[in-house]
Structure 1
Amino acid sequence: MLLLQIQTELDTAALDTSAEAFTVWDLLLKGGYVMIPLFLLSILAVYIFVERVLTIKKASKVPEQFTDKIKNLVSVGDINSARMICSQTDSPIARMIEKGISRIGSPLKTIEASIENVGKIELYRLEKNLNLLATISGAAPMIGFLGTVTGMIQAFIAIAQEEGNVSPRLLSTGIYEAMITTAGGLAVGIIAYLGYNYLVSQVSKVVHKMEYTSIEFIDLLQEPR
């Protein structure tokens, strides 16, 4: 009995050691070839998110008292200085106002249209690659499901080829290895989905600021002098 107890304890310790050595990286490797496109999609999603965050953050920054300076210069008729300040400011708002200043003297509708056209171009730049991030959020889980289906097919083929009783270990191993791709695809998809919605909200804030500034500029041109 003593020898049996010692052997049982040794077996338990060996199982605990193997469980500790079984890392997340080992699980990812067991997911098969489907994990490769999921890994590439995750890198692409992170790259797009970081690049867009930096771009949107830069676009949202406008120097202090920028609008006030433009108002004062336009009010006194110093158009060239106002355009110079706009050209030296790297932001969508500055480029919109610069376009409007360059059209001063034209009908008000023409000025509004020119500002609106520049705004559309700036919006397109802000939303660059957002559609790709949305595609990743939808495609990654589907790729994961595809990997699970193919993995289950392979698992059942292996079970069918077994002679005699099928061991629970063989059955469970085939199933959990197939489910790894689903977990990976969902993880990538959720991250991309959250990143996409965050970026959309940040773009909306910048667009609101652009619209507010352009309205202020148009109101300035309508003020009596």
Structure 2
Amino acid sequence: MNVSKNDEQVIARKAGGLNPAVIIPILFAIGVCIYLFVLGSPGNFKDADKLGGGSVAFSSVEGKDIHPDSFLGIIYKGGVIVPVLITFMITVIVFSFERYFVLGKAAGKGNLDNFVVQVRSLLNQNKIDEALEECDRQQGSVGNVVKEGLTTYKALSHDSTLNKEQKMVALNKAIEEATTLEMPMLEKNMMILSTLGTVATLVALLGTVIGMIKAFFALGSGGGTPDAAALSTGISEALINTALGIGTSAIAIILYNFFTSKIDGLTYKIDEIAMSIQQSFAEFN
């Protein structure tokens, strides 16, 4: 089966960046290990010498008899939802770094604002070859789109088979296609941050409900005298999950909006230069 050049570019851009199907299971395994061996370390609990080494989860002491002696131990007492929320937090951090580096690379090597000013200045003077050299120096998604537009500009300038209106349509189409090819790389994995901004709160709510169920069960099963330890454990579990979920959700939403703003900024720069290319072509051709 033959694959066009555009199709190859689309495939290459979609394949770039981290693959969530591979990374997220790995991050979940890391989250579980953090929960069991870092948060669940005997050193985070009272009477650590009685718990043995390794992890509280694998000790012979029942969970209700374990009392935290540090903040990490308190988080551990949040229950089975905690490793899921830890995974969410790690996922947000990992994919935020990934988006930061990808978007930084998409902006190119030089200052993007200076690049836009320089290219627009060269277009006003109809210096297409010099503008192409600027694109080669800048690189990145913006440079790629502008270079495609300028290459088409140059080819259409020497094309005598089309009238001016047809040339303008062809130029606009080339710029739009080049922009479309770059967008998958810019927007990839953004949905993960957006989803975790909502899902983290819902999962935390599940942990909160489980904790409150345990608290009310302890309240009603004491035969007139509530089990204070079990009651406090249930309430603390509920609050720990709430705190972890809200914190993860807040960070995910902030970072999602930050990266969305950066993508919008790159798109605006592309549109700005694209308009200059169209105006220059209409003036000099």
What TM-score results when the alignment is normalised by the length of structure 1? 0.78
Matched with 1:194 is 254
Matched with 2:237 is 177
Displacement of 1:178 in angstroms is 2.1
Matched with 2:69 is 22
SS of 1:103's equivalent?
helix
Matched with 1:53 is 100
Q: What is the rounded CA distance, in whole Å, between the counterparts of 2:83 and 2:236 in structure 1?
A: 18
Aligned-residue RMSD, C-alpha: 2.9
**Where do 1:63-212 residues align within 5 Å?**
63=110, 66=115, 68=118, 71=122, 75=126, 78=129, 83=132, 86-87=135-136, 89-104=138-153, 105=156, 107-212=167-272
From 54, 59, 81, give the equivalent of 1:34: 81
Displacement of 1:86 in angstroms is 3.4
Q: What is the rounded CA distance, in whole Å, between the counterparts of 2:90 and 2:242 in structure 1?
A: 18
Return 5+ residue gaps in structure 1 as ranges. 1-16
Q: What is the rounded CA distance, in whole Å, between the counterparts of 2:93 and 2:228 in structure 1?
A: 39
Give yes or no for contact 2:207–2:237 (8 Å, CA) kept in 1. Answer: no
Q: What is the rounded CA distance, in whole Å, between the counterparts of 1:77 and 1:220 in structure 2?
A: 10
Give yes or no for contact 1:96–1:118 (8 Å, CA) kept in 2. Answer: yes
The answer to which of 198-207 and 62-71 deviates more is 62-71
Q: Which has the higher contact order (CA 8 A, sep 6+)?
A: 1
Q: What is the rounded CA distance, in whole Å, between the counterparts of 1:61 and 1:112 in structure 2?
A: 23
Q: 1:201 to 1:48 in 2, by over 3 A?
A: same
Displacement of 1:60 in angstroms is 2.4
Give yes or no for contact 2:77–2:233 (8 Å, CA) kept in 1. Answer: no
SS of 2:284's equivalent?
coil
> Given residue 86 of structure 1, which amino acid in structure 2 is its aligned partner?
C
> Given residue 59 of structure 1, which amino acid in structure 2 is its aligned partner?
A
1:10-61 deviation line (CA, Å, top 9, x unaligned):
xxxxxxx99xx73221121001110111101111101111111222223224
Q: 1:77 to 1:217 in 2, by over 3 A?
A: closer
Larger Rg: 1
Displacement of 1:223 in angstroms is 2.1
1:52-81 deviation line (CA, Å, top 9, x unaligned):
122222322464665646937x93574xx7
Q: 1:109 to 1:154 in 2, by over 3 A?
A: same
Give yes or no for contact 2:208–2:238 (8 Å, CA) kept in 1. Answer: yes
> Given residue 153 of structure 1, which amino acid in structure 2 is its aligned partner?
I
Q: 1:203 to 1:108 in 2, by over 3 A?
A: same
> Given residue 147 of structure 2, which amino acid in structure 1 is its aligned partner?
E
Q: What is the rounded CA distance, in whole Å, between the counterparts of 2:198 and 2:128 in structure 1?
A: 53
- How many residues align? The count is 205
Percent identity, aligned pairs only, is 26
Return 5+ residue gaps in structure 2 as ranges. 1-45, 48-67, 160-166
What TM-score results when the alignment is normalised by the length of structure 2? 0.63
Give yes or no for contact 1:93–1:213 (8 Å, CA) kept in 2. Answer: no
> Given residue 92 of structure 1, which amino acid in structure 2 is its aligned partner?
S
